[in-house]
Amino acid sequence: MTQNHPNGSICAEEYVVKRGDSFYLIAHKLGVPLRDLLAANRNIHPARLMVGDVLCIPREEDDSPDCGGLGGSTGGNGSGGTVAPDASLPGENTRPVPACPIDQQYSVENGQTVEDIQLRNLLSRHTLQQANPGVNLDQLQTGQVLCVPTENVSCDVPNSYTLTQGETLDTLAVKFNLPVGSLLRANPCLAPQDFEEGTSVVLP
């Protein structure tokens, strides 16, 4: 049921912000283009999103992965916990299991990309690559087992653009008209939450 929002937008539904949410994560989770979500909530600054804020969710687009630039999984419970490999998939048991603790092993879900895993676990691409040497993170397959560490590994970031006050991964993507996935790939040393004031990033 649609309803009018105080800022003039017509909302298909409303969403109450939860702990750990960002505009990008909400847009990706609900299948709404990030630009549309930001436009429908101009009264809320992306860097000042707070638990309990009520967002207007415009739902005129279909929920294909083209909206957000990242292919995403619609299954699972949305947590970053360990998922056991799917033994029912043919040939999956022939893939090598990474040499890491069992509680850090993660089975790739259908349609997941490395950016999805980064956002879900708040890890940098560099951290995932170091934990999975020889693995092509851009060609993940359903059921493939990855080592997903619990902490990020630091590395040097070349200077390019320094985020100013209030800027985040979401606002940077909108400011330079870049997909969030491209920013994460260009900055393998940064986890999603590291895009904050004073951080130097590479613009792809």
Rounded distance between C-alpha atoms, residue 204 and residue 193, angstroms: 19
Rounded distance between C-alpha atoms, residue 13 and residue 4, angstroms: 10
Rounded distance between C-alpha atoms, residue 16 and residue 56, angstroms: 9
What pLDDT was estimated at residue 62? Answer: 44
- Asked: is 3-61 a CATH 1.10.10.10 domain? The reply is no
The two domains 3-61 and 161-201 share their CATH topology (first three levels equal):
yes
What pLDDT was estimated at residue 146? Answer: 93
Overall size of the chain counted in residues? 204
Instruction: Quote the distance between the C-alpha of residue 187 and its chain's center.
Output: 14
Spatial contact of 197 and 164, defined as CB atoms under 8 Å apart: yes
Rounded distance between C-alpha atoms, residue 169 and residue 192, angstroms: 7
What pLDDT was estimated at residue 38? Answer: 86
Among residues 116, 138, 120, 141, which one has the least CA distance to residue 129?
138
What pLDDT was estimated at residue 177? Answer: 87
What pLDDT was estimated at residue 176? Answer: 87
**Backbone torsions φ then ψ of 189, nearest 5 degrees:** -85, -10
For 88, residues 6+ apart whose C-beta sits below 8 A from its C-beta are none
Spatial contact of 114 and 188, defined as CB atoms under 8 Å apart: no
Reported as a single tens digit per residue, the pLDDT across 104-123 is: 889 898 888 899 899 888 88
Q: Which residues pair with 45 in a beta bridge?
A: none
What kind and span of H or E run contains 25? helix 23-30
The structural architecture, per CATH, of the domain 161-201 is: Roll (3.10)
Rounded distance between C-alpha atoms, residue 169 and residue 68, angstroms: 14
What pLDDT was estimated at residue 37? Answer: 86
Rounded distance between C-alpha atoms, residue 178 and residue 195, angstroms: 14
What pLDDT was estimated at residue 46? Answer: 79
What pLDDT was estimated at residue 147? Answer: 92
Reported as a single tens digit per residue, the pLDDT across 81-96 is: 333 344 334 444 445 6
Q: Which two tokens stand for residue 30?
A: 């609900």
Low-confidence ranges of the chain (pLDDT < 50): 1-2, 6-7, 61-94
Spatial contact of 123 and 149, defined as CB atoms under 8 Å apart: yes
For the chain, which residues make up each domain, given as ranges? Answer: 3-61, 161-201
**Backbone torsions φ then ψ of 105, nearest 5 degrees:** -90, 135
Q: pTM for this structure?
A: 0.45
